[in-house]
Amino acid sequence: MIGAGFAAFPYTWPGILGARSARIIQRNFIVQPIYALCVVVPISIGFVGILALDKTAAGNGNGTLLTLARDAMPGWLLGLLVVAGIATAMVPSGALLVAMSSMFARNIVQVRGDKQQYWLGQVMVVVTALIALLLAIQGSNALANLALLTFSGLSQLVPSIVAALRRSGPVIHAWSAVAGLVAGVAVVAMLTFTSLAVGTWNVGVIGLGVNIVVVAIVEAVLRASRGAPLPHQPVSTGGVA
């Protein structure tokens, strides 16, 4: 939850940055919670499942909705329901591909030039999607461990993002951010895979704690030797990458 609140998930960024003004984004997050009330519905369907489904036949519960729907609907209508379901898989897939391929071209390979980045991005859309498709078709568990880390791991980006929210530049050094990030992810991975007893604590939160402590230590050392990070020079406004 903390991760989502502080935009730690890269695939939500194009949607936010694509808006015409900051005002639009602000209004958007006023209206979204009303839409969020809709979560009542899947929860209710789950409750319906408890009443209506044969416990032994229904398995782990994730098929609850479709099991109910298959009994209740004619074929064409079930088809429409399926299409709506497919859409909720295709829309985020698209957003994921946009974010992943652009970050690959701009921040991992770091090719120079807008055109070159654009074309490498196009290639990466195909490559990334094909990898994911092949893994999905094989029912591969190759990435299962990574999947366990997706949310708690990405949440480790929160301190770096928060510290960089000042317009004139971040309040900490880059190396403090890198050290905190690496430490946070390492802790999350360790706790996830060694099944160390952590009580009811969420591993992402523990990771964040370690993350912030490491940032503070490295930052203290850096400030002692180099001083506080310098603010950026004023920039011209309205620039588009």
Instruction: For the segment 21-80, give every residue that binds another protein (CB under 8 A).
Output: 21-33, 35-53, 58, 60-80
> How many C-beta atoms surround the C-beta of residue 94 within 10 A?
14
CB 210 to another protein: min, Å:
15
In angstroms, the first-to-last Cα distance of the chain is 30
Binding mask 104-123 for another protein (x = CB under 8 A): xxxxx-x---xx-xx--xx-
CB 134 to another protein: min, Å:
9
Tokens 């503070």 sit on residue: 216
Rounded CA separation 99/97 (Å): 5
Q: Scanning residues 81 to 100, which ones bind another protein (CB under 8 A)? A: 81-100
CB 138 to another protein: min, Å:
10
Judged by CB under 8 A, the residue of 15, 198, 209, 228 near another protein is 15
Whether residue 152 contacts residue 207, with contact meaning beta carbons closer than 8 Å, is answered with yes
Q: Which residue number, 23 or 225, has a Cβ lying nearer to another protein?
A: 23
User: Residue 79: phi, psi to the nearest 5?
Assistant: -60, -45
Rounded CA separation 30/23 (Å): 11
CB 217 to another protein: min, Å:
17
Rounded CA separation 172/219 (Å): 7
Tokens 């895979």 sit on residue: 193
CB 229 to another protein: min, Å:
8
Q: Scanning residues 127 to 186, which ones bind another protein (CB under 8 A)? A: 128-133, 135-137, 139-141, 143-144, 146-157, 160-162, 164-165, 167, 169-170, 173-175, 177-178, 181-182, 185
Q: Which residue number, 27 or 226, has a Cβ lying nearer to another protein?
A: 27
Q: Mapping DSSP to helix (H, G, I), strand (E, B) and coil, where does residue 144 land?
A: helix
User: Among 100, 218, 103, which Cα is nearest to 159's?
Assistant: 218
CB 224 to another protein: min, Å:
19
Q: Mapping DSSP to helix (H, G, I), strand (E, B) and coil, where does residue 187 land?
A: helix
Could you say which DSSP state residue 105 is in?
I
Is 223 among the residues that bind another protein (CB under 8 A)?
no
Q: Which residue number, 182 or 220, has a Cβ lying nearer to another protein?
A: 182
Q: Which residue number, 4 or 228, has a Cβ lying nearer to another protein?
A: 4
